[in-house]
């Protein structure tokens, strides 16, 4: 009875220890008698004791390999330090297990050689400005080479590109010169715009001033014309009234004498009086003396 209990307990322990639960996003590569047997996916699986063994437990999640900076030489013989990040995923556990020895080391070596080959065909300026192109080329090459290993390379990123210190100093000076140039251009454009605005303002002010002077001259001319018309109208009215009154020769001569007096008030030094007005002028002078007395 005791032997049966011991055998039962042993059998129970053997069954329990050979039950395998495969978790989500994982896969087990199983061998039987040293040969590939199957790939276990998510679920409960039973392994034959002493016959089956789990050769490799594989994670199917996307993984990241961050490689340290490594020296690379450009086409124009500039040595730079570049560190690379590779995002990959295992798509075939069987190929990953049996395709290559030490897959991660193989990935690192392949990444380094591929990066050196690509950078070797580019000059320094192209390397600094063509990061996306380099990433795309590396991803395509790595994905093609690692496909027989059951690895899918999703993307590759160049995290840092570090040129030599002297080149970095030259680049900083170049960038500073470029910023100074842009600043000078902006200042020149601002000064130009300011001068244009000032000139436009002066032009508009001159136009407004000329227009005001023109309007003032027009108004003065209109005023003078109206004044002349008023004088002419008054003269015409007086002549009309005089004609309507039918003046005799003595009145006309008296009016002429008044006109001569107005002329004498001017700056003329010599006045010639017609003979027909001389007698009338003497009469007017006598009348003036009489009135004074």
189, 237: one domain: yes
Instruction: Using the predicted structure, report yes or no on whether residue 290 has a pLDDT greater than 60.
Output: no
**Whether 89 contacts 61, CB under 8 Å:** yes
- Domain span at residue 92? 62-163
Q: Are residues 53 and 66 in the same domain?
A: no
Q: Which one of 129, 148, 163 terminates a domain? A: 163
CATH of the domain at 77: 3.30.479.30
154 and 176 in a single domain? The answer is no
For residue 121, the 8-state DSSP code is T
pLDDT tens digits along 109-153: 999 999 999 998 888 888 888 888 999 999 999 999 999 999 999
The reply to whether 252 and 289 lie within a common domain is yes
- Is residue 146 located within the same domain as residue 109? yes
Sheet of strand 52-59, all strands in order from the earlier edge strand to the far edge? 35-40, 26-32, 52-59
Instruction: Using alpha carbons, select from 102, 108, 96 the residue that is nearest to residue 148.
Output: 96
**Residues 205, 257 within the same domain:** no
Q: In total, how many domains does the chain have? A: 4
Closest among 63, 42, 84, 68 to 151, alpha carbons compared: 63
What digits encode the pLDDT tens for the residues 251-271? Answer: 555 565 565 555 555 554 555
Chain position carrying tokens 């002549």: 239
User: Among 29, 58, 87, which residue terminates a domain?
Assistant: 58
116 and 28 housed in the same domain: no
pLDDT at 287 over 50: no
Sequence-distant (6+) residues with CB within 8 A of 284 are 254, 257
Output the pLDDT for position 136. 92
Average confidence (pLDDT) over 271-280: 53
pLDDT digits (tens, 9 = 90+) for 221-237: 888 888 888 777 877 77
DSSP state of 149: G
Average model confidence (pLDDT) across the chain = 81
- 93 & 139 share domain: yes
Asked if residue 23 and residue 6 are part of one domain, the reply reads yes
List, in order, residues 6 or more apart from 62 with CB less than 8 Å away: 87, 88, 89, 154
| Same-domain check for residues 153 and 202 | no
- What is the per-residue pLDDT across 143-202, written as a single tens digit (0 to 9) for each? 999 999 999 999 999 988 888 777 767 767 777 788 888 888 888 888 888 889 888 888
pLDDT of residue 139: 93
Q: How far is CA 93 from CA 22, 28, 150, in A?
A: 14, 8, 7
For 18-31, write each residue's pLDDT tens digit. 888 899 999 999 99
pLDDT at 208 over 70: yes
Rounded to 5°, the CA angle 54-58-61 comes to: 160
Are 155 and 71 in a shared domain? yes
Q: What is d(CA 163, CA 81) in angstroms, rounded to the nearest whole number?
A: 7
Angstrom distance (rounded) from CA 71 to CA 65: 18
Decide which of 102, 128, 163 is a domain's last residue. Answer: 163
Please indicate, yes or no, whether residues 52 and 71 belong to a single structural domain of this protein: no
Q: Does position 279 have pLDDT exceeding 60, yes or no?
A: no
């Amino acid at each position: 009875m005791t032997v049966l209990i011991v055998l039962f307990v042993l059998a129970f322990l053997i069954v329990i220890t050979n039950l395998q639960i495969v978790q989500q996003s994982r896969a087990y590569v199983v061998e039987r008698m040293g040969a590939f047997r199957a790939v276990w996916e998510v679920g409960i699986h039973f392994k034959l004791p002493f016959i089956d063994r789990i050769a490799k437990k594989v994670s199917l999640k996307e993984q990241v390999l961050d490689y340290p900076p490594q020296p690379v030489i450009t086409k124009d013989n500039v040595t730079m330090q570049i560190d690379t990040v590779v995002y990959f995923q295992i798509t075939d556990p069987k190929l990953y297990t049996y395709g290559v020895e030490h897959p991660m080391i193989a990935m690192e070596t392949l990444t380094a050689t591929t990066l050196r080959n690509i950078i070797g065909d580019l000059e320094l300026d192209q390397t600094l400005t063509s990061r996306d192109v380099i990433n795309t080329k590396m991803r395509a090459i790595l994905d093609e080479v690692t496909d027989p290993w059951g690895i899918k390379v999703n993307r590759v990123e160049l995290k840092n590109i570090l040129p030599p210190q002297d080149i970095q100093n030259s680049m900083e000076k170049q960038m500073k010169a470029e910023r100074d140039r842009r600043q000078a251009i902006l200042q020149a454009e601002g000064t130009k715009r300011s001068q244009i605005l000032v000139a436009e303002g002066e032009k508009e002010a001159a136009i407004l001033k000329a227009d005001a002077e023109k309007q003032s001259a027009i108004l003065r001319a209109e005023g003078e014309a109206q004044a002349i018309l008023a004088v002419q109208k008054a003269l015409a009215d007086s002549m009309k009234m005089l004609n309507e009154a039918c003046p005799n020769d003595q009145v006309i001569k008296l009016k002429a004498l008044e006109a001569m007096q107005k002329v004498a008030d001017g700056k003329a030094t010599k006045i010639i009086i017609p003979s027909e007005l001389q007698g009338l002028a003497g009469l007017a002078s006598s009348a003036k003396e009489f009135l004074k007395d």
